[in-house]
Amino acid sequence: TQLLEQSPQFLSIQEGENLTVYCNSSSVFSSLQWYRQEPGEGPVLLVTVVTGGEVKKLKRLTFQFGDARKDSSLHITAAQPGDTGLYLCAGVQGGSEKLVFGKGTKLTVNP
Amino acid sequence: DAGVIQSPRHEVTEMGQEVTLRCKPISGHNSLFWYRQTMMRGLELLIYFNNNVPIDDSGMPEDRFSAKMPNASFSTLKIQPSEPRDSAVYFCASSLKVGHTGELFFGEGSRLTVL
């Protein structure tokens, strides 16, 4: 059983469209990170959220941490081909201090 | 400043052979992690070190896997003997903070294929 479920698993959209990807769990996390991974490279951190209900913006990317700290979402506005990649969420469970990763959402933005 | 450096980038070997993957973390970082990534299971933590000391190796699949960190600037992950199901991309990551709460900086990975 995957501790962090990400959906959708795959997403293919046209340039300019908006999209939201989700990271859900039945467990509470003390913090949650989002990474982007491009083919042939390692994941790169985009953001860390730590407070329930927190919203962080990174240019066209908006990250939200659920009030109960069990879920998170990533919204991309006006997607561009450069946004193509595997988006991974990773959470630290309260008490375990262990970072676990979801399987990711593979996003393709077509020009 | 150089990032996390892993070698080799690609390794193809035959079942039963010994495989050694190497990692140089970012200078000054206190934690080092070894992950394995496959399509089926995603990114799985194998082992992590704090200040060169192994803290949690519960993710190491079997006794065939071993990891060492003899000093702050070098770590190895060894598989002996290798099996086809070990085929995956192995990532090393380092972090300035002790433990898992900080940003992880990943290397480019070592793609292992065991025939």
Percent residues over pLDDT 90 in chain A:
82
Taking a C-beta distance cutoff of 8 angstroms, is the pair B18, B79 a contact?
A: yes
List Cβ neighbours of B40 (8 Å cut-off, separation of 6 or more).
none
Q: Minimal Cα distance from A104: which residue of B? A: B42
pLDDT of residue B73: 95
- Put simply, the answer to whether B108 touches A41 (Cβ < 8 Å) is yes
List Cβ neighbours of B82 (8 Å cut-off, separation of 6 or more).
B13, B15, B16, B17, B18, B19, B64, B112, B114
Measured distance CA(A49)–CA(A57) in Å, rounded: 11
Model pLDDT for residues B16-60, shown as the tens digit of each residue: 999 999 999 999 999 999 999 999 999 999 999 999 999 988 889
pLDDT of residue A94: 67
pLDDT of residue B104: 92
Measured distance CA(A73)–CA(A34) in Å, rounded: 9
Does B2 or B37 have the greater pLDDT score? Answer: B37
- Closest to A6 measured CA to CA, from A33, A30, A38: A33
Closest approach of chain A CAs to the CA of B82, in angstroms? 23
Closest approach of chain B CAs to the CA of A110, in angstroms? 23
- Put simply, the answer to whether B100 touches A98 (Cβ < 8 Å) is yes
- In a mutagenesis test of the A interface, which of B100, B103, B106, B111 is the best target, namely the one with the most A β-carbons within 10 Å? B100
Phi and psi at residue A56, to the nearest 5°? -125, 140
Is residue A22 less than 8 Å (CB to CB) from chain B? Answer: no
Q: How far is CA B30 from CA A48, A108, B50, B111, in A?
A: 19, 35, 6, 25
Taking a C-beta distance cutoff of 8 angstroms, is the pair B75, B93 a contact?
A: no
